[in-house]
Amino acid sequence: MAPRTRPLMLAASILLFLSSLFSAAFSTTFTLTNSCAYTVWPGLLSGSGTPALPTTGFALAPGESRAVEAPAAWSGRMWGRTLCATGADGRFACATCDCGSGAVECAGGGAAPPCSLAEFTLAGSGGNDFYDVSLVDGSNIPMAVLPQGGSGAGCAATGCLADLNGPCPADLRVAGPDGAGIACKSACEAFGRPEDCCSGAFAGGPEACRPSAYSMFFKNACPRAYSYAYDDATSTFTCASGTAAYLVVFCPTAMSSSDGESSLKSSVVSTNPSPALPHVNDTVSYLGRSRDAGSGWQHTPSSSDASSSAPSPFAIAVVAVFTWLCGSSAGRQWPLLSSS
C-alpha cells in the first residue's frame, strides 16, 4: 500500500467504526411480552421507506418475551396473531390478524382486520417518538405499550387492558368454531359506511367525522386507545427520541403485581394516584383517563426534552476525525483529491 493512501484508509476505518457505534447507540429496543394464557404470534410491519426490522414475525409462548432492535427513524406497527396453525397444505394461517404470508414471518404483509395495533414513529417531528395503540381496525387481544425510561410530558403508557371479545356488540362480533368471540370488528369493517370509515363526504377531520355509538364502545372501554380515525387528541403519545425503550405487552391484565418493575399493573399502582383500576363494568377495565385529563403515567420533563437543534454527537466526531487527520498529514497529497 502506498504511504499516501494510508490517511484515507485510516479515515474510512474510523468513520465506519463510528457509524456502527452511533447506529447501535441510537437504535431503539422493543420488548414484546406475552402475558396471555395462550401462544401469540406477533407480526411486525415497517412503514414505507423505513428500514426493515430483523424479523417480521415469530411465536411467543405464554410468559415469553423477545427483544427486537429497531434502527433510528423507524416507523411501523406491531400486532398479535392468535389461533394460528399450519394447515394440510403447509401454509401457516391465523384466525385473527393473519398477515397472508403463509408463514410465521409476515415478510411485508399487513394484519387483516379486526386487529389491535401498536403503531410507532421513531425520531419524528420535534425530536420525538410517536406511538399509540389503535382499535380503528377493531380489536382481537388486550394490548399495551409501556415506555421504559423516556422523558417528556406525553411519555406515558397507553393501550387497552380490556378483552373486548366477550362484550363486543353482536353486529361487530367475530366468533370462532365453538361460538366464542375471538375478535371485535370496527363499524367500518362491519358495515363499510362512509360515516363509519371517515371517507367520502365524511373525510377531512373530526368536524366532518364524529364518533359513532360503535366507536364509543371501544373508547369507553379503552380511553387511551384510538377508537376511530380522528381520535388523535387523546390517543397519541410521545417520548423524547432516544430516551426510551418500549415494552409491548399482550394481555397486560394477566400480569401480577409480584412481577416487579416489569409488571404493567405494578407500574399502575406505583405511579397512579388511585391504585385501583377503574372499570366500565365488571369485565372491562382500562388504563385510566385520557392523557389530557392528567391522570395515569406521566413523566416529569427533563433537560433531554430541550431542542435537538444542536449538532449530533456523530457529526461532532466526524469533524474531529477529519480535523486530526488533516493536521497530522499536512503537506501530503490526498490520492482522491489530487489531479495528478
For the segment 236-259, what is each residue's pLDDT rounded down to a tens digit?
A: 999 999 999 999 999 997 543 333
Give the integer Cα–Cα distance in Å for 233 and 294.
13
**Of 154 and 32, which is predicted with more confidence?**
32
Give the integer Cα–Cα distance in Å for 259 and 179.
34
Band (pLDDT 50/70/90 cuts) for residue 321 is very low
Of the candidates 228, 239, 338, 223, which has an alpha carbon nearest to the alpha carbon of residue 292?
223
Q: Which residues of 313-333 are buried (b: 16+ CB within 10 A; e: fewer)?
A: ebeebbeebeeebeeebeeee
Integer-rounded Cα Rg, in Å, for the chain is 24
6 in helix, strand or coil? Answer: helix
327 in helix, strand or coil? Answer: helix
Q: Which residues contact 104 (CB under 8 A, 6 or more apart)?
A: 41, 57, 58, 59, 92
pLDDT score for 72: 84
Q: Which residues of 137-146 are buried (b: 16+ CB within 10 A; e: fewer)?
A: bbbbbbbbbb
Q: Which residue has the cell 391504585?
A: 275
Residue 87, classified by CB atoms within 10 Å of its CB into exposed (0-12), middle (13-18) or buried (19+), is exposed
pLDDT score for 153: 87
Does pTM surpass 0.75?
no
Band (pLDDT 50/70/90 cuts) for residue 7 is low
Give the integer Cα–Cα distance in Å for 22 and 27.
8
For the segment 82-92, what is each residue's pLDDT rounded down to a tens digit?
A: 999 999 999 99
Domains and CATH numbers, the chain: 28-300 (2.60.110.10)
